[in-house]
Amino acid sequence: MKIKEVSYGRTFNIGSYESERIDLTAELEDNEDEITVITKLRAKIEEVRIKSIK
């Protein structure tokens, strides 16, 4: 089986019974490992979240 793209998403509680969801999807290059790419997507979501609350 060949995986062509991976996605990672996370829902954040922003208080007052509200939440926000951030989802990212990446296309895999021929030599990329899906676990490594998912880890990078997770880090990018954390980065986006930190920037959005400043």
Question: How many angstroms separate the CA atoms of 36 and 24, rounded?
Answer: 14
Instruction: Say which residues have a Cβ less than 8 Å from residue 20's Cβ, sequence separation at least 6.
Output: 11, 12, 14
pTM (2 d.p.): 0.84
Confidence check: pLDDT of 8 > 90: yes
Question: How many angstroms separate the CA atoms of 37 and 30, rounded?
Answer: 12
For 13-34, what is each residue's pLDDT tens digit?
A: 989 999 999 999 999 999 999 9
